[in-house]
């Protein structure tokens, strides 16, 4: 009898479940740029700090390496990446695959110019096109710029080192670098959401990680195709070492270590239903800071009775409706004197 009840519930709820499942999939495919409101101020400001330090260092390195060609080169290539993100190919149903471009940028430019290029792209996307929030911009640059570029760089250099100097090895390295950059960036975004308490870790990490494992395949194949084309047309552009004049193993080894660390940390964090607390415990000071912040932002007053909550919701909705109505009224009144 229970099984019949369960089946009937699932059948009647199936459109809702299917709909929400599809929506969840769709939104996670567009979900690398985190808007404002989803990261707690503490998490957002922390990643702003990290990003500022990394970008400042990248600026100093680029001034030394590229000299005066840097502005037109990086400016035009930033526009290339931005425009390249418009290129798409149909996958299935209505979905299409897109390019992030961090891996391609780092293979062609080296890590520090690529980081600056991705910083410009993500910043303009947030500032002008509202693709990602302004407070969350630091975290978005961290995910798509720092993580995307350095993980791709680490994986690319590692695979090039482990394989002989041949065309297929570059293509394989490019594919793996692009896939890992997407996957690790998605895991970091999921961790940021979990740390902010917006999305429980045991849902956000598997969801983002799973979906972006597929999206990463698209990025990998696009990067592979681009490298194949570039190696045929401009052989000098793609090499196993990259255009860096100074051979610094610290950078690509560091990128690789970040990737490995996150690859291990994320499944562990997601295994705990309270992944948020577990991760906060492991990173000691974050736990302490979160604790003190919660006293500044006191937990919502538990209504206890659902009527109280309903009243709050109703009051909020009414407030919003009144304000919107007043706003439309005022804008209508304002329009009549100026029209004609």
Partner 1 sequence: MHAHLFDPYFSGASPVHACDSRIKLALVLVFILCVALAPVGAWAALVLYFATSLAAIILSGIPLLKILRRSVIALPFALAALPLVFTTDGVPWISIPLGPWMLSPTAEGFLRFLAIAGKSWISVQAALLLSATTPFPDLLLALRAFHVPQLLVSVIGLMWRYLFVLADEAIRLMRARDSRSGIEPGRRPGGGVLWRARVTGGMAGSLFIRGFDRADRVYAAMLARGYDGETRALPAPPLTPGQYTVLTAGGTWMVMILLLAILIR
Query: Interaction with partner 1 in 304-323: which residues (CB under 8 A)?
Result: 304-306, 309-310, 312-313, 315-316, 319-320, 323
Question: Nearest distance from residue 145's CB to partner 1, in Å?
Answer: 12
Between 23 and 162, name the residue whose CB sits nearer to partner 1: 23
The residues in 53-112 that bind partner 1, with binding defined as CB under 8 A, are 55-56, 59, 62-63, 67-80, 82-84, 86-92, 97, 99, 101, 104, 108
- Which residue lies nearer to partner 1 by CB, 264 or 297? 297
Could you tell me which of 258, 135, 277 has the C-alpha nearest to residue 195? 277
| SS3 category, 196 | coil
Q: Mask 126-165, x = binds partner 1 (CB under 8 A)?
A: xxxxxx-xxx------------------------------
Nearest C-alpha neighbor of 111 from the set 1, 253, 4, 208: 253
Question: Around Cβ 45, how many Cβ atoms within 10 Å?
Answer: 13
CB of 241 to partner 1, least distance (A): 19
38 part of the interface to partner 1, by CB under 8 A: yes
Q: How many helices (H) and strands (E) does the chain have?
A: 13, 2
Please identify, using beta-carbon distances, which residue of 123 and 180 lies nearer to partner 1.
123
Among residues 284, 294, 270, 292, the alpha carbon closest in space to that of 194 is found at: 270
Which phi and psi angles does 198 have, rounded to 5°?
Answer: -85, -35
Binding flag, residue 41, partner 1 (CB under 8 A): yes
Given phi > 0 = left and psi -120 to 50 = alpha, else beta, which region is 234?
Answer: beta
- Report which of 103, 127, 125, 132 is spatially closest to residue 115, judged by C-alpha positions: 103
222 is an interface residue for partner 1 by CB under 8 A: yes
| 241 is a site residue for partner 1 (CB under 8 A) | no
Decide whether 74 or 256 has the Cβ nearer to partner 1.
74
Q: Which of the ranges 155-163, 230-238, 261-269, 277-285 carries the binding residues for partner 1, by CB under 8 A?
A: 230-238
Residue 19: phi, psi to the nearest 5? -60, -50
Phi then psi for 54, rounded to 5 degrees?
-65, -45
At 205 the three-state DSSP class reads: helix
**Minimum CB distance to partner 1, residue 239 (Å):** 15
Under rule CB under 8 A, which residues in 185-214 are in contact with partner 1? 193, 198-200, 203-204
**Residue 166 in tokens:** 């041949």
Q: How far apart are CB 164 and partner 1 at their closest, in Å?
A: 23
Residue 221 in the binding site for partner 1 (CB under 8 A): yes
Residue 267 interacts with partner 1 (CB under 8 A)? no
Return the structure tokens found at 209: 């990680």
Among 27, 53, 162, 264, binds partner 1 (CB under 8 A): 27
């Amino acid at each position: 009898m229970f099984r019949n009840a369960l089946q009937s519930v699932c059948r009647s709820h199936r459109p809702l479940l299917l709909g929400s499942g599809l929506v969840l999939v769709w939104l996670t495919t567009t979900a690398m740029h985190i808007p404002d409101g989803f990261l707690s101020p503490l998490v957002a400001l922390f990643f702003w700090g990290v990003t500022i330090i990394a970008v400042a260092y990248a600026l100093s390195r680029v001034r030394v390496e590229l000299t005066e060609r840097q502005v037109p080169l990086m400016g035009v290539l930033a526009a290339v990446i931005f425009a390249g993100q418009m290129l798409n190919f149909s996958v299935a149903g209505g979905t299409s695959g897109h390019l992030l471009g961090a891996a391609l940028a780092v293979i062609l430019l080296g890590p520090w110019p690529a980081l600056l290029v991705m910083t410009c792209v993500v910043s303009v996307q947030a500032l002008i096109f509202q693709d990602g929030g302004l407070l969350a911009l630091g975290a978005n640059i961290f995910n798509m710029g720092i993580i995307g570029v350095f993980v791709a760089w680490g994986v690319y250099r590692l695979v090039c080192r482990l394989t002989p100097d041949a065309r297929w090895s570059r293509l394989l390295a490019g594919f793996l670098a692009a896939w890992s950059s997407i996957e690790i960036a998605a895991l970091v975004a999921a961790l940021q959401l979990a740390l902010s308490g917006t999305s429980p870790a045991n849902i956000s990490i598997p969801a983002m990680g799973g979906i972006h494992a597929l999206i990463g395949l698209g990025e990998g194949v696009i990067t592979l195709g681009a490298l194949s084309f570039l190696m045929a047309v401009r052989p000098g552009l793609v090499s196993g070492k990259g255009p860096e004049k100074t051979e610094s193993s610290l950078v690509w080894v560091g990128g690789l270590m970040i990737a490995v660390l996150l690859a291990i940390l994320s499944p562990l964090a997601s295994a705990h239903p309270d992944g948020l607390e577990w991760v906060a415990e492991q990173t000691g000071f974050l736990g302490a800071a979160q604790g003190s912040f919660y006293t500044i932002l006191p937990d919502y007053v538990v209504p206890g009775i659902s009527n109280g909550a309903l009243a709050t919701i109703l009051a909020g909705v009414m407030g919003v409706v009144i304000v919107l109505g007043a706003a439309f009224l005022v804008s209508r009144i304002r329009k009549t004197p100026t029209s004609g």
